[in-house]
Amino acid sequence: MTLVGTIRINLARLFRPSAAGGKSTRSITVRSQRLPSRRKGRATVFSFVAALLAIHALMFVVSADARVRDPEYGRRAASLRERIAENPGRPVTVVLGSSRVAMGIRPTAWEDVRPADATHPDPLIFNMGLIGSGPVMELMTLRRLYADGFRPDVVLLEFWPPFLHQEGVWTETNRIATDRLIERDRQIVREYFPDPERVERDMDWRRRNPIFANRERLLVQILSRWLLPEKRTDWLWDDLDTWGWKPGNDMEHGLSSMRSDAHARCAEIYKPLFATHKISPIAEQACRESVALARQHGATVGFVFLPESSEFRQLYSPELNQVVRAYLDRLCSELDIPVIDSREWVDDGFIVDGFHLSRVGAAEYTRKLGPSVAATFPKARERGKP
């Protein structure tokens, strides 16, 4: 055997396992080098999974917060808590209703002119209106308020005939996006939604997948520019003031061509509704339940009928006007509650489209609403005395 052959054999024996099953020095060395790398890789994977689970858990908690799931309500609720803390002893009046309330009640206008008499505390008026809200959403909002620990002295519910009709495209639950619903809304879903099983399945899916299911709700509040315009809903809350008021159209007082065009467009929508208008049992049920719930928590309750322009009021037929008036009288009599009928309180120049107040119109209206609330609910003022 040559020297080269002998060396090859010895090298081969050195780098292969022994007959007894042992391992060569090189094999042991290589494996010993791989062990730390494998451990480091596993630690990285475990850290990633732990971080993902932590984010998922955090999102589960965060997504249950109304400020995330429903900022239109959640931001108002946070502001209401701050206003109550700043004004101890004043009787709290929350006004619930639609965009007519959201844009029409401007509490700062009342704050600027209220008497501020310590012996007779002025009502603290707060705007809890939600866009598209009718009797069902008013009940949903009121339940949320009580669940969040609020105890208003007076609850004012908007009374508006168009939203008492709950058929076809006017069904109120069609206006409630399921991604704004939170866990405490399940009772509303079961009592008032036409397909509660489907809606609850969607709510359950969103709870199990808080990151993916709430991605648009989060993006619209953090990186709204990343969303397509039709996906953005931040217009519902992005300009709310600290008293819950959402500024409406910045139209100057007067009878402009823009106002006439807006009235014409609204007439096209509401004429067909008034031709077939019916007061829905569902709307009345929700209304009565709101009154009972508020009284159960010690509040005084009333209705408020916000301004409509003379042109819009003419869309009601004499027969419909009679039906609406008789219904309101009966409801107030049976429930023993007052109504602030402010339907004709402001002139047409303050009303943009027939039923939404302009910004200056909202100030004009609320300066009149404040004293009316104080006079209509005197016992609430007595409870607020030091």
Any domain includes 61 = no
Instruction: Examine the domain organization and report whether 263 and 125 are in the same domain.
Output: yes
Any domain includes 353 = yes
Any domain includes 311 = yes
Instruction: Examine the domain organization and report whether 38 and 119 are in the same domain.
Output: no
Predicted local distance difference test score (pLDDT) of residue 222: 72
Instruction: Examine the domain organization and report whether 48 and 147 are in the same domain.
Output: no
Lowest mean pLDDT among 51-55, 103-107, 132-136, 237-241: 51-55
Q: How confident is the model at residue 68 (pLDDT cuts 50, 70, 90)?
A: confident
- What is the side-by-side strand order in the sheet with 154-158? 124-127, 92-96, 154-158, 300-305, 339-341
Instruction: Examine the domain organization and report whether 376 and 266 are in the same domain.
Output: yes
In terms of residue numbers, what domain contains 330?
A: 68-180+242-383
Any domain includes 10 = yes
Q: How confident is the model at residue 230 (pLDDT cuts 50, 70, 90)?
A: confident
Instruction: Examine the domain organization and report whether 154 and 280 are in the same domain.
Output: yes
Instruction: Examine the domain organization and report whether 33 and 147 are in the same domain.
Output: no
Any domain includes 12 = yes
Instruction: Examine the domain organization and report whether 304 and 169 are in the same domain.
Output: yes
CA-based torsion, 51, 56, 60, 66: positive or negative: positive
Instruction: Examine the domain organization and report whether 22 and 164 are in the same domain.
Output: no
In the chain, alpha helices (H): 3-14, 25-63, 66-69, 71-86, 99-104, 107-113, 135-147, 186-192, 196-208, 210-213, 215-222, 257-275, 281-296, 310-313, 318-335, 359-376, 378-383
> What CATH number corresponds to the domain at position 341?
3.40.50.1110
Q: What's the total number of domains in the chain?
A: 2
Instruction: Examine the domain organization and report whether 45 and 82 are in the same domain.
Output: no
pLDDT in tens, 234-258: 888 889 999 999 999 888 888 888 8
Any domain includes 163 = yes
Q: Is residue 362 a contact partner of residue 104, using CB atoms and an 8 Å limit?
A: yes
Predicted local distance difference test score (pLDDT) of residue 74: 95
Any domain includes 98 = yes
How many Å is the Cα radius of gyration of the chain? 32
Please tell me whether residue 227 adopts helix, strand or coil conformation.
coil
Instruction: Examine the domain organization and report whether 136 and 264 are in the same domain.
Output: yes
Q: Is residue 70 a contact partner of residue 234, using CB atoms and an 8 Å limit?
A: no
Q: How confident is the model at residue 32 (pLDDT cuts 50, 70, 90)?
A: low
Instruction: Examine the domain organization and report whether 45 and 173 are in the same domain.
Output: no
How far is the C-alpha of 140 from the C-alpha of 201, rounded, in Å? Answer: 19
Of 123, 109, 120, the C-alpha closest to 368 is 109
Any domain includes 212 = no
Task: Report residue 296: phi and psi, to 5°.
Answer: -60, -30
What is this structure's pTM? Answer: 0.82
How far is the C-alpha of 133 from the C-alpha of 324, rounded, in Å? Answer: 19
Strand partners for 126 = 94
How far is the C-alpha of 100 from the C-alpha of 246, rounded, in Å? Answer: 10
Instruction: Examine the domain organization and report whether 77 and 45 are in the same domain.
Output: no
